[in-house]
Structure 1
Amino acid sequence: MMSDKMIPIPFPKLVNWMLEEYKRSHTIFGVSDVKFFQKKNDNQIGLFGETMDTPVGPAAGPHTQLAQNIIASYLSGSRFFELKSVQIMDELEIPKPCILAEDECYNTEWSTELPIMGAFDEYVKAWFALHILQKELFGQNDRRFMFNMSVGYDLKGIQSPKVDEFIEGLKDASNTEVFKKCKASLLESLNQFKSVDQAFVEGISPTICTSITLSTMHGCPPAEIEAIIKYLISEKKLHTFVKMNPTLLGYEYVRNTFDKMGYKYIQLKEESFTHDLQFNDGVEMLKRLKVFAKENQKDFGVKMSNTLPVKIGRSELPGEEMYMSGRALYPLTINLAYKLASEFDGDLNISYSGGADAFNIDRIFETGIQPITVATTLLKPGAYLRFKQMADILDPLMGKKASGKLDMEKLKALAESAFADANHIKEKGDLINRKTELKLPVLDCFIAPCTVGCPIEQDVPEYLRLVGEGRYEEAFDVIVSKNPFPFITGTICTHNCMTKCTRLDYDESVHIRGQKLVAAEKGYDAYMQKLPTLKPESSAKVAVIGAGPSGLAAAYFLAKGGLEVTVFDKRAKAGGTVEYVIPDFRISREAIDKDIKLIERMGVKFEFGIDPNFSVADYKAKGFQYVYLAIGAGKTNNLDIEGDQDRVMGAIPFLEAFNADKDALKLGKNVAVVGGGNSAMDAARAALRVKGVENVYIVYRRTKDYMPADHEELIYAEEDGVIFKELLAPVSLSGGIFKCQKMELGQADTSGRRKPVAIAGSYEELPVDTVLSAIGELIDYDLLKQNGIAIGEKGQISVNEDTLETNVENVYLGGDALVGPWTVVGAAKHGTVAAKAILEKEQRVFKQEYVNQISFDNEKQLLEIAEKKGVMKPVADHKLESERCLECNKVCNICAEVCPNRANLMIPVNGKGLTNMNQILHVDGMCNVCGNCGTFCPYSSEPYKVKLTLFWTEKDFMDSPNVGFYFLDDGSNGEFMLRFDEQIAKVKFDQSGNTDVKIDEKIAAFIWTIYKDYEHLYKVLN
């Protein structure tokens, strides 16, 4: 059990926190002064008689729930604040976690989790704090930001005494206790400030809001909505926006939009549309309300849009229904905005929220729509810092907006372009889980997910920075310390690294593979010139059977470690599948040869044309103490169909024949490739290059979304003209007719893949002369058994998982021969593991160190990383990819960035044995268990459950299972209670930071740093 109740920070402590943090680290609530938004012109924009420096800000949601959230928004560029909605039911028990923002965002929380007047207090505190910051940091006297309150959900609730008190208090807070206390606190502590004086504090207006946004529940009757708005305009005298739901577009429109944009998995309920406000009724209501508002001399407009209700179908969050926002909502919202505005000939005030971000905010603003609020983009890495880029984009556009109607031509163009906007289309690659399988440690957690995701753990951020600095030889050195195939993997690697890249949560992955190739092409010659041919330093001899990627990797590291290595292969050249199967239009033979030369430089010897039916005993008899079997998966998996089997060919044999002499191939006019992996794409693209071939089909029993091939390989195949035939299962080939069973997708299995189900009696016939089977290769078990290697009943091969040694002493097995068809880098991993094990047996050093001493300018590096945070920057030039790498191994802090409440803090700790420049402290009192830090942490754990936790009260400490501590008597005598390793101890520091009870020295160093340097973090509630 752990509490999900936030504890608001008292105003004097809030101010002290801001000042102390800024003095110590030039950050305020985690926002660095590097990311403070600085206005570059005097242009402002007006709304409801108020002025703003920028018309962008946080939507009513998690980012306007607490004062510190509003402060973080302001510092990074927000000047319009749509305060989180309140409603009469303010004691809701919300199941947690309540937010899932992996891509499009889902939530199950609708209104503030604080009591109504608790929320009111937060908004007043934030109001004062922003005035202080604008004066103290930016020297601004006149307020250049505005607050907009938000309420729901029915008229009776809005008219209730406590909601009415909230509304009236924000209209005029002068007589409220919290307003008086905040003002008095500032007046008593003017000596804390350089620019804030008594006159400035006295001049802070008690009129916090002159406007309101109505957030109605889905299904709220039109008459009820209209009555609420009339009440807010006439009785409460407020300028009013009303949220409009995407359901106005109708079920069919929304369903079709999602399907064509790749969001087929989103489950909608038709009743969500039929029970909600209908478009024509909504238009008539808005027409009446425009007239009513004008009669009452108030401004009125619509907020585009509310969230979209969808089913919880995969246990994404607790409950049955959740609300969707983010990039998937953009094409709906911008089209709804256009559709509604068209009914009013552009004479409609629109406040926008629905997938706005740095990629489209300028185009939205240039239509005349403003203000623009965001939420989902702030839940992702970079978080509040993303405001800086959005504000900077809008800044030069300020002053250009003419008053009056919307620019309908621009709005129409924007709406039409939304369906093809790459930033809002769900691609196959967007479905990948970016988390690693590692468990989050309490301390020292910074990792580069790309490195962890790479089977051979390439030091990706290091070589990307070196390439960016033009240090190509050093970059090449970093790569080949762990990877003997810089050219091969720089060209055709399946790049697991890119599927883990944090940049995917911004825009698109850093193009890591391409940067490896840049390093290879520009660093190879200089590196090779300085590299002597190594000679064996040991009498131990190793035979490597198979000159494919796994065998070559083993040979590389074995020779590097000083052993005598000979690689044997049945073919005439080294390279295996890469050399003989992968087509030359994917990788040049010159590139492969360069990697082989690097391996030869290690002293590796080769013998070719060897009998494939080898005997391990023969090699041992020749004096080889160790044998590594890297023989590949040598058997073709036959396609089980009826008819002309002589016109069915394995994709791998076909590709070998293609590489040997494509002009000798006779495939006919029409070719079908069965399968959906990279080999299928290679075979299809190669077949198109065979003389006489006119059409090539990819036949797959699921849809393209489920094809295991890399996304880019699918695109290359499409660009070459391959025809994709989805939801077809082969039945027979006879007389040039390829008969296929039609399939449909059934229920999802445990992996999330929907199972293909045959449609009874339904077939499709394709004109096909040749079928290429790309359904995988098989392990040659017979050959392994002949050599005494134990095989289980289900085909499992007996090897030591840590060393890959088989049941036959000193015989090792890896690559495709062990696991079936695999990747180049996966095979290289096995070769590396086997080499390391053999070297350890020989008591030799396994060498993966760099030849050069690699170093960076630490201060420059940290500044550049800080500047990259929160900046959306898709690929423009692959040569500049280092500018997009976020260097997570050096500075991660993702959990601190994405926490709306600032509950995860970055604390520099100089402790014994600590390696990260920051440690993460979790502050229990600021956490509402939304779960967002767990979504984006690269580990498989949730930071709010794992990281060292500071508690503000004994009760919270006792109620939580977290590793954590709280100070007794506010730390006045250095005593604290600590839970660690499931034990609770009372501990006391002396004046030097030593403890009277022996505890983990790293934990002690962390808590000592908090105690000594961060009083404002724990002296909060007294």
Structure 2
Amino acid sequence: MGKVTGFLEFERQDEGYEAPEARKRHYKEFVLALSDDQAKVQGARCMDCGIPFCNNGCPVNNIIPDWNDLVYKGNWEQAIGVLHSTNNFPEFTGRICPAPCEAACTLGINAAPVGIKSIEHAIIDKAWEHDWVQPQPAPIKTGKKVAIVGSGPAGLAAAQQLARVGHDVTVFEKSSRIGGLLRYGIPDFKLDKAIIDRRAKQLEAEGVVFKTSVYVGDADLPKGINTDAKEKVSPKKLLKEFDAVLITAGSEVPRDLPVPGRELEGVHFALEFLIPQNKANAGDKLKEQIKVAGKNVVVIGGGDTGSDCVGTSSRQEAASILQIELMPKPPVQENKPLTWPYWPNKLRTSSSHDEGCQREWGVTTKEFKGENGKLKSMVIAQVEWKRDEKIGQMKMSEVPGSEREIPAEAVFLAMGFTNPVAGLLEGFGVEKDGRGNAKATTDGTGCYATNVSKVFAAGDTRRGQSLVVWAIREGRQAAREVDAFLMGDSVLPR
């Protein structure tokens, strides 16, 4: 490494934030990225550790020590080349990835890990600033046509890889703009949508064709699914017109909470709240939008989607915000000897939580109550988790006497997503796994291939709800398999 003793000399410096009271007044990004000098210092903290566990901790296997060293030496243009060799969209992951690479950092065993995510963020922002990110159209076309269903990170990564080796790629998206949940599920204050738009322009310059407001499938969409579709295309039509089809439509069916009062006005799926706000920010004219100003808001679910509901509720000036989670409260500090280099179970506090939110763990919802069809309150109770020695699993039981009623005029269900939308996989005849996802292996030959000839699946459609970085990985790997299927071999990276 350029600074062999850097990890001994320098402390970790995190990216800064605009003050909570200021940032709650807008929906713009508020992270204060590292300066060049700060990024250089963070790069210097990277150890010559022999086995870079961060590489394997990262789902796309970013070559992290190399670009850390290049940033330390000031070779920024070379750094973006190394970064782009494994990650098509580091501006996405540099903003919204939870950074499993940092959990795997060797320095993190007994000190604060290297600020890998902040360095990645700095590299790609500088690359765009200096016009180092340019279209790379294929010099020779293959004449093969590939349809990609879904324009989330998996679909975009696959589209770029396949276009660059000469295939004619068409991406079908049921919404009016591309990006999937990157655009509609993640608030603007975490990811400015202009960042997606500039990548879309690059992909179009490389030959990718986007067809928006087009739903691929035979069945109608279930409640809670975002769509601006003006046209429906049959899966059979795609199979007839294209040489290969890759399904990267995500896992969008939200997990419901079937308790008494669920039908009351005021109980919503999280995306019914988040998507219209993102559309409003983009200037779309909406027939209706959920507003929580002056209301007592309860968010059910302790993950990222729940956190996004908290941040959006703060910006809409809710009277109070409570986020509840069924599972017990995680430890403030992980057990590093037990968990490293894997992703640890620990308490995580997001920027949205810092803006003002009460959080409770080990809480179950028993009933929603209302008047004249409108939600007014909800009944909750504390639960405890104990291991059942007979089956070896944790079991939940309600704490006697803990039931209580709390005010709630708006409740958002942010408990995750279960499977791809109805009709999509069925329309293609794709076999499902036990969880309702597309059944496609990633082992051996024929990776990402489904039971249907020339149909592939990747991303959340195949693996279930997961991270943006996993979607990019699967999109890249699936593109290689599609290319090999069409051409007999592939020069794309594994």
TM-score of the pair, normalised by structure 1: 0.38
* Conserved? CA contact 1:684–1:722, under 8 Å: yes
Q: Which amino acid aligns with 1:701?
A: L
Q: Deviations over 1:111-144 (max 9, x none)?
A: xxxxxxxxxxxxxxxxxxxxxxxxxxxxxxxxxx
Sort the Cα spacing of 1:801 and 1:530 in 2 relative to 1 into closer, same or farther, 3 A: closer
**Deviation readout 1:643-691 (Å, 9 max, x if unpaired):** 2523211112211022123794333510101011111111111112124
Q: What does residue range 994-1005 of structure 1 map to in structure 2 within 5 Å?
A: none
| Structure 1 residue identity aligned to 2:448 | L
Partners of 2:413 and 2:210 in 1: CA distance:
33
Aligned partner (choices 363, 366, 380) of residue 731 of structure 1: 366
Matches of residues 620-639 of structure 1 in structure 2 within 5 Å? 620-622=239-241, 624-639=242-257
Contact 1:581–1:655 under 8 Å retained in 2? yes
CA deviations 1:59-110 (Å, max 9, x no partner) are xxxxxxxxxxxxxxxxxxxxxxxxxxxxxxxxxxxxxxxxxxxxxxxxxxxx
CA contact (8 A) 1:561 1:844 kept: no
Is 1:791 matched up with 2:436? no
Identity %: 28
Partner Cα distance (1:753, 1:514) in 2: 38
Residue 457 of structure 1 is matched in structure 2 by 61
What amino acid is aligned across from residue 632 of structure 1 in structure 2? G
Aligned counterparts of 2:276 and 2:437: Cα–Cα separation in 1: 31
1:14-413 map, 5 Å = none
1:488 aligns with 2:92: yes
Tell me if structure 2 keeps the 8 A contact 1:490–1:514: yes
In structure 2, the partner of 1:772 is 412
For 1:772, the aligned partner's letter is: F
Task: Give 1:598 shift.
Answer: 3.7
Q: How many residues align?
A: 409
The residue that corresponds to 2:159 in the other structure is 555
Measured after TM superposition, the shift of residue 713 of structure 1 is 5.8
Q: Which one-letter code corresponds to 1:604 in the other structure?
A: V
Deviation of 1:594 after TM superposition, in Å, equals: 3.1
Q: Does 1:740 align with 2:358?
A: no
Q: How does 1:556-595 map to 2 (within 5 A)?
A: 556-595=160-199
Partner of 2:457: 813
Moved more, 815-824 or 756-765: 756-765
Q: Say if 1:453 and 1:709 are closer, same or farther in 2 by CA, change over 3 A.
A: closer
**Unaligned 5+ runs, structure 2:** 11-48, 218-232, 282-287, 333-342, 371-375
Q: Deviations over 1:744-798 (max 9, x none)?
A: 2323899999654211342122211111001112213543122211235664643
Q: Distance in 2 between matches of 1:594 and 1:711?
A: 36
In structure 2, do the counterparts of structure 1 residues 572 and 797 end up closer, same or farther at CA, with 3 Å as the change threshold?
A: closer
Change (3 A) 1:706 1:790: farther
Question: How far 1:475 sits from its partner (Å)?
Answer: 1.2
Cα deviation per residue 1:156-208 (whole Å; 9 max; x = unaligned)? xxxxxxxxxxxxxxxxxxxxxxxxxxxxxxxxxxxxxxxxxxxxxxxxxxxxx
What is the match of residue 676 of structure 1?
A: 302
Residue number among 30, 51, 55 corresponding to 1:447 in the alignment: 51
Larger-gyration structure (1/2): 1
Give the distance between the partners of 2:436 and 2:213, measured in 1 at CA. 29
Query: Which amino acid is 1:643 matched to?
Result: G
> Are 1:846 and 2:491 counterparts?
yes
C-alpha distance 686-520 of structure 1, shift in aligned 2 (>3 A):
same
C-alpha deviation, 1:726, in angstroms: 1.9
The separation in 2 between residues aligned to 1:711 and 1:590, in whole angstroms, is 33
Change (3 A) 1:672 1:592: same
Contact 1:637–1:778 at 8 Å: present in 2 too?
yes
Code of the residue aligned with 1:784 in structure 2: it is: L
Contact 1:665/1:690 (<8 A) preserved: no
Offset, 1:596: 2.8
Paired with 2:270 and 2:133, the residues of 1 have a C-alpha distance of 40
- Could you say if the C-alpha distance between residues 753 and 481 of structure 1 is closer, same or farther in structure 2, counting changes exceeding 3 Å? farther
**1:466 is matched with which residue?**
70
Gaps of 5+ in 1: 1-33, 36-381, 390-444, 850-1022
CA contact (8 A) 1:477 1:527 kept: no
- Is the CA contact 1:450–1:498 (under 8 Å) kept in the aligned structure 2? yes
**468-477 or 744-753, larger mean C-alpha shift:** 744-753
Work out the CA distance in 1 between the residues paired with 2:141 and 2:98. 35
The separation in 1 between residues aligned to 2:177 and 2:435, in whole angstroms, is: 34
Using the alignment, how far apart are the partners of 2:442 and 2:320 within structure 1? 45
Tell me the SS of whatever aligns to 1:714: coil
Question: Cα distance, 1:717 vs. partner?
Answer: 3.1
Alignment match of 2:291 (pick from 653, 662, 666): 666
Inter-partner Cα distance in structure 2 for 1:756 and 1:717: 29
The separation in 2 between residues aligned to 1:734 and 1:454, in whole angstroms, is: 45
Preserved contact between residue 706 and residue 753 of structure 1 (Cα < 8 Å): no
Q: Specify the code of the residue in structure 2 equivalent to 1:672.
A: V
Q: CA deviation at 1:474?
A: 1.4
Relative to the length of structure 2, the TM-score reads: 0.76
Say whether residues 1:704 and 2:329 are aligned partners.
Answer: yes
- Name 1:300's counterpart in structure 2: none
Q: Distance in 2 between matches of 1:627 and 1:826?
A: 20
The residue number in structure 1 matching 2:268 is 649
Deviations 1:708-749 (A, max 9, x none): 999796242331111102221001111312111211232389
| Aligned counterpart, 2:222 | none
Query: What does residue 718 of structure 1 align with?
Result: 353
CA distance in 1, matches of 2:381, 2:327: 12
Give how far 1:537 is off. 2.1
Provide closer, same or farther for how the CA distance between residues 695 and 846 of structure 1 changes in structure 2, counting only shifts above 3 A. Answer: farther
Asked whether the 8 Å contact 2:430–2:450 carries over to 1, the reply is yes
The structure that is helix-richer by fraction is 1
Q: Does 1:617 align with 2:262?
A: no
The amino acid across from 1:747 in the alignment is R
Shift of 1:497: 0.9
Whether the aligned pair in 1 keeps the contact of 2:298 and 2:411 (CA below 8 Å) is: yes
Contact 1:676 1:709 in 2 (8 A): no
Q: Secondary structure at the match of 2:400?
A: strand
| Other structure's SS at 1:572 match | coil
Distance 1:715 1:732 in 2: 28
SS in 2 for 1:760: coil
Q: 2:449 is paired with a residue of what secondary structure?
A: coil
Quick check: 2:149–2:216 contact (8 Å CA) kept in 1?
no
Contact 2:134 2:202 in 1 (8 A): no
SS in 1 for 2:215: coil
1:959-992 Cα offsets, whole Å, 9 max, x none, are xxxxxxxxxxxxxxxxxxxxxxxxxxxxxxxxxx
Equivalent position of 2:103 in the other structure: 499
Q: Structure 1 residue aligned with 2:442, among 771, 776, 801?
A: 801
Q: Is the 8 A contact 2:235 2:427 kept in 1?
A: no
CA distance in 1, matches of 2:433, 2:142: 36
Q: What letter is aligned with 1:724? A: R
CA contact (8 A) 1:473 1:527 kept: no
CA change 1:713–1:603 in 2 (3 A) is: farther
Deviation at 1:591, TM superposition (A): 2.3
- Cα distance change, pair 497–544 in 1 and its aligned pair in 2 (3 A): same
Q: 2:469 maps to what in 1?
A: 825
Contact 1:551 1:630 in 2 (8 A): yes
Matches within 5 A, 1:939-958: none
Counterparts in 2 of 1:720 and 1:754: CA distance versus 1, 3 Å: farther
Q: Which residue does 1:914 correspond to in 2?
A: none
The 3 A distance-change label for structure 1 pair 517 and 702 is same
